[in-house]
Structure 1
């Protein structure tokens, strides 16, 4: 090719952004597409009059040396900050301080700040649901749900959950077969705002009994403001059993579960909001890194390809970009 290959990336969550930034640095022409109104995927924050609520990813850790270096750069940019919550655990024995001493990071001043920083000047077609890939003269055309066409592109990276990716790559056996075997678990998240601080000795709780998986005082995260804001996240099994529940019913049940953890009645929240994640986390761990069909110029990545954490999503995007660059 006489000029740098053009790449379409479907999905502007962490894995898609990771691949996009690496390819842009290598000089390729990259265009992102996402069905949501902006970038970030599960790095989602809801903005309200009380402040923001991190409705998806609550925090992330860094272990891989390359990811550790990336996080150091993001901290220097001011996109992320360290979070040091008073951390507890709740199980059949009751509440106790957690012994987990991992270093934790969050986007600052909200989780979406990281995705906005990574997006930079990359072109993004938001609110665009890509429904079809069509191969024409060794290049790819994309078609969205409104019938709009995009392209041509020399390569395509699909960085979305496997159930959403399958209709796009169903004819590419090397990609479709593993994607079809991969499952994602659902989750419910509830945001709560209170008119006064809750006098509790913890900022976050790993919950190992009942419908809750996690409780966090969002306001305890760096640069979040002074409002009393909390986020509750359900277990995947509870969410699967309540996928079609009304949001108000979800709020009521998860607030009741929080009261069981707290061990006392809670004041009535001044704000409440429930969000359903159909694809909250991988049901099982994989070690693919990313999936590639070089002959067709199509690649798959996401946390489901590697391990379920935000770090895994970033690493998977790096794997996809590396595989693509080897054939560019």
Structure 2
């Protein structure tokens, strides 16, 4: 594999420092401490949709609101996070909800879990991958600014539409079966509003409200949740509303959602910000926990992962990351 002073070399590159990428990197590192792993993410912070934000003295979870446990291995992992002080149980039910499955939250925000996973990992944030291509039994990952990373294996955890664009940039052809699997994956967008209040909200304990129809799908009270020291709510618009208004003026849409939320709040909104999650949740997922994208090709080890494979939940992202780690460790060639 070529080496130049202006270029970097590592064993595995992972594109995306969300939960799937962090879980893959953490799992690989725990099983083989000799492997060098580099994660690259265009965002300024870790965790992807495990996202927290501050507005002055208020703190918000404005992406994923909680996690549930269905898989025994993931349940054990959540318990480890609880023991480490980066997660806790939020609630099992709230008024109007029949499902009593336990919901867990990150501490101090959902991002706390991502930061815990990231300890000891080599992560390049605020770095955009412009192209990936195969060379000499390995991969070249090109970065904005002209940097390059050579690796023996590549894991991509970005949303599938972004992944397809990236693969096309390097003229990477997958098997017909894998192409068809990727084309079937669909996402739902979500417009999120983070608003501060002049007094505590009147949302019933535990501070969560799911709405089955209309423009608003979810309201959470970050103060009741234990995220914010002052009254602060997160509003998630429904998938239909978000799709219709995603490219409209954000502050105008935010004001509409704030006005619609007021009857539930019993308090006045003093300030708000708006964020758009273009790939908020996969609504048509693949049946496998990850994709062996190098399968039936001459490509070096290439694995695709994310919640579009193992399910549209925090749990799905972690399980997909673990599956990608296992697949990569089995296929990574020996370093010559």
TM, length-normalised to structure 2 = 0.88
Shift of 1:159: 0.5
Which residue is equivalent to 1:16? 21
Q: Is the 8 A contact 1:86 1:201 kept in 2?
A: no
1:201 and 1:21 map into 2 onto residues whose CA distance is 38
CA deviation after TM superposition for structure 1 residue 322, in Å? 0.9
Partner of 1:284: 284
Q: 1:321 to 1:200 in 2, by over 3 A?
A: closer
Match of 1:209 among 208, 213, 218: 213
Instruction: Measure the CA separation in 2 of the matches of 1:200 and 1:163.
Output: 37
User: What are the within-5 Å matches in structure 2 for residues 1-328 of structure 1?
Assistant: 6-27=11-32, 28-84=35-91, 87-88=94-95, 97-150=96-149, 152-170=150-168, 171-174=172-175, 175-202=178-205, 203-222=207-226, 224-260=227-263, 262=264, 266-292=266-292, 293=294, 295-328=299-332
Alpha-carbon distance change, 26 to 85 in structure 1, aligned in 2, over 3 angstroms? closer
Contact 1:215/1:231, CA 8 A, preserved across alignment: yes
Check whether the contact 2:197–2:231 (CA below 8 A) recurs between aligned residues.
Answer: yes
Question: What is the aligned length?
Answer: 313
Counterpart contact for 1:13–1:39, Cα < 8 Å: yes
- 1:159–1:192: structure 2 CA closer, same or farther, 3 Å change rule? same
Superposed CA RMSD: 2.0
Instruction: Supply the distance in 1 between the matched residues of 2:101 and 2:229 (Cα, whole angstroms).
Output: 25
Is the contact made by 1:289 and 1:316 (CA closer than 8 Å) also made in structure 2?
A: yes
- Which residue number in structure 2 is paired with residue 93 of structure 1? none
Query: 1:85, CA displacement in angstroms?
Result: 7.3
- Residue 280 of structure 1 deviates from its aligned partner by 0.4
Instruction: Render the CA deviation track for 1:165-223: whole Å, top value 9, x for unaligned.
Output: 0122242313444223322111100011112112343411111110111111011223x
Query: TM-score with structure 1 length normalisation?
Result: 0.90
Q: Which runs of 5+ in 1 are unaligned?
A: 89-96
Q: Report SS of the residue matched to 1:270.
A: strand
8 A contact 1:213–1:233 mirrored in 2: yes
User: For residues 221 and 76 of structure 2, what CA distance do their matches in structure 1 show?
Assistant: 28
**Deviation by residue 1:246-301 (Cα, 9 ceiling, x = unmatched):** 122112221222235x2xx8543122011011110012133211001255211000
2:129 and 2:248 map into 1 onto residues whose CA distance is 28
Q: Secondary structure at the match of 1:87?
A: coil
Query: Post-superposition shift, 1:26?
Result: 1.8
Shift of 1:147: 2.3
